């Protein structure tokens, strides 16, 4: 079986994009497909698979998102930017579009050839200053975006820029599975520099490791910091491992706009002889 695909990346968060309107894979098949083709060195390799499908409502198309372990996720900010570009380039949608996701409809805009903006799902659950039982962390903030919510732990970590990720991995995994989080959580460590810009490192559930960027995690972190500064609105620049992202925050409206690159990497056919979908 040969499967047409496009490889894309946004701030180093990489994705395999397929058109499921023609492939017609079931949920179980998409889950199995993602777990196999995302496996680096053994197949194409990626953080996740995104499948374009027919919408169930009034959106231009439906985005189905599967992590590298085969689990389906509610939404992905970097993925939404990339799939928006895919939809524009393939003639599925125009320069302004609406993407249906599990967490709700997501508006998206083409700003330039590879620069896109998406509206992240708004904060629906927020809990600040949760005492954490580890001396490395004084407290943890928790934010869910959308409904059902995408869960994010936001952790202030001084000296983050000089800290090796290997030193944070055990702590990140511990927080990711903290029992007070009903669905587990993505874990976003951050520190603020003297210019008010954020350094962010995200440990993602489903990937079960640090990724080069997390769009919804960047949004959740920008929201927390803006709230802590008691600002009504802010444009927050975030430095992630894969580059830079901007989040426009409106605290009163609970609005988050994510801006960044969406890059086409390659197109071709998956010929994986071990694929069992």
Question: Phi/psi at 158 (nearest 5 deg)?
Answer: -60, 140
Known catalytic membership, residue 214: yes
Residue 70 annotated as binding site = no
Q: Is there a binding annotation on residue 205? A: yes
Question: Which residue among the candidates 214, 247, 249, 259 is catalytic per the annotation?
Answer: 214
Please provide residue 120's backbone torsions phi and psi, each rounded to the nearest 5 degrees: -75, 155
Contact criterion met (CB below 8 Å) for 38 and 49: yes
Q: Is 67 labelled as part of a ligand binding site?
A: yes
Helix boundaries (H) for 184-251: 215-228
Is 242 marked within a binding site? no
Distances (CA, A) of 140 to 117, 193, 209: 28, 20, 19
DSSP state letter for 65: E
Task: Report the C-alpha gap between 43 and 123 in whole angstroms.
Answer: 36
192: exposed, middle or buried (Cβ count in 10 Å: 0-12, 13-18, 19+): middle
Of 18, 39, 41, 40, the residue nearest 30 (C-alpha): 18
Q: Where are the alpha helices (DSSP H) in 43-182?
A: 77-89, 165-176
Flag whether 274 is marked binding: no
Tell whether residue 216 is among the known ligand binding residues: yes
Tell whether residue 78 is among the known ligand binding residues. yes
Q: What is the DSSP letter of 121?
A: P
Catalytic, out of 11, 63, 76, 87: 76
Contact 63, 146 (CB under 8 A): no
Query: What span, in angstroms and rounded, lies between the C-alpha atoms of 146 and 103?
Result: 5
Active site residues: 76, 214
Can you say which residues are annotated as belonging to the binding site?
13, 67, 77-78, 186, 204-205, 215-216
Can you say which residues are annotated as belonging to the binding site for substrate?
13, 67, 77-78, 186, 204-205, 215-216
């Amino acid at each position: 079986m040969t499967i047409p695909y496009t490889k894309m990346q946004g701030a180093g968060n990489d994705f395999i994009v397929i058109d499921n309107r023609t492939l017609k894979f079931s949920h179980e098949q998409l889950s199995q497909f993602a777990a196999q083709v995302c496996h680096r060195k053994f197949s194409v390799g990626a953080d996740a698979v995104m499948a374009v499908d027919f919408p169930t409502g009034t959106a231009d198309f439906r985005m189905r998102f599967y992590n590298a372990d085969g689990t389906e996720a509610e939404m992905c900010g970097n993925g939404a930017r990339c799939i928006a570009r895919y939809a524009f380039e393939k003639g599925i949608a125009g320069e302004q579009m609406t993407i249906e996701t599990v967490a709700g409809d997501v508006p998206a805009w083409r700003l330039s050839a590879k620069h896109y903006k998406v509206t992240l799902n708004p904060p629906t659950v927020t809990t600040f200053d949760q005492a954490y039982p580890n001396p490395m962390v004084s407290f943890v903030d928790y934010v869910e975006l959308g409904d059902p919510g995408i869960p994010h732990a936001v952790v202030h970590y001084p000296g983050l820029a000089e800290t090796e990720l290997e030193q944070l991995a055990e702590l990140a995994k511990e927080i990711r599975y903290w029992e007070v989080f009903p669905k587990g959580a993505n874990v976003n460590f951050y520190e603020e520099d003297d210019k008010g810009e954020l350094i962010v490192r995200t440990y993602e559930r489903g990937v079960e490791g640090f990724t080069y960027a997390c769009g919804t995690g960047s949004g959740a972190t920008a929201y927390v910091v803006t709230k802590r500064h008691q600002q009504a609105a802010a444009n927050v620049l975030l430095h992630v491992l894969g580059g830079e992202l901007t989040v426009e925050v409106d605290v009163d409206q609970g609005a988050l706009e994510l801006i960044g690159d969406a890059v086409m990497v390659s197109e071709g056919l998956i010929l994986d002889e071990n694929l069992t979908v």
